[in-house]
Structure 1
């Protein structure tokens, strides 16, 4: 999750842009657009979502590992959570 007001605003702006792309994709499908432009729009949406995911994941990892864990168990739990996030991102 973005922690600073500027990062939060930036993330929300990206989400709104993605929503706009999805709205355009919906209109194209409703209007029976050709496959090539629809596929191009889908690729753009995928890229936008991946970019947003990457930024928020980076923010989370920086926040998670900026403060040292007080116990080895907490450190291991933080690593496990980070690995799970990266794995879900790569699916």
Structure 2
């Protein structure tokens, strides 16, 4: 009977955003605060255009986060996937993610 490799289970994988993880989390927390701000604006019956302006700012901030993640994915994850012989699979996966990011209601 073999025992599972506990060292491998305890190792956190390196992602494309690992080096900038704290910056990413800071940006996401800021966006979270903006969303709470919109909630407060609605509770206070603020002018529609002001609320829409804040929504647009949040969308732009989320787009910037998404582009940063795509950049990290392209530079790290796809490079690693290519080294493993999965370049086409990784490219297809990334393009699907780009398509989802670009889709707007």
Bin for the TM-score computed over the shorter chain: 0.7 to 0.9
Counterpart in the other structure of 1:55 = 68
Correspondent of 1:14 among 18, 27, 31: 27
Give unmatched runs, 5+ long, in structure 2.
Answer: 1-14
Counterpart in the other structure of 1:28 = 41
1:17-62, Cα deviation, whole Å (9 max, x unpaired): 0011001100000110011211111111111111111111111111
Runs of 4+ off more than 6 Å? none
Q: TM-score, normalised by structure 1?
A: 0.86
Q: TM-score, normalised by structure 2?
A: 0.75
Q: CA RMSD in A?
A: 1.4
Give the direction of change, closer, same or farther, for the CA distance of 1:63–1:55 in structure 2 (3 Å limit): same
1:82 and 2:94 are equivalent in the alignment: yes
Equivalent-residue separation in structure 2 for 1:8 and 1:66 (angstroms)? 19
Equivalent-residue separation in structure 2 for 1:30 and 1:65 (angstroms)? 44
Correspondent of 2:83 among 69, 72, 82: 69
Equivalent-residue separation in structure 1 for 2:62 and 2:77 (angstroms)? 22
* Bigger share in helix: 1
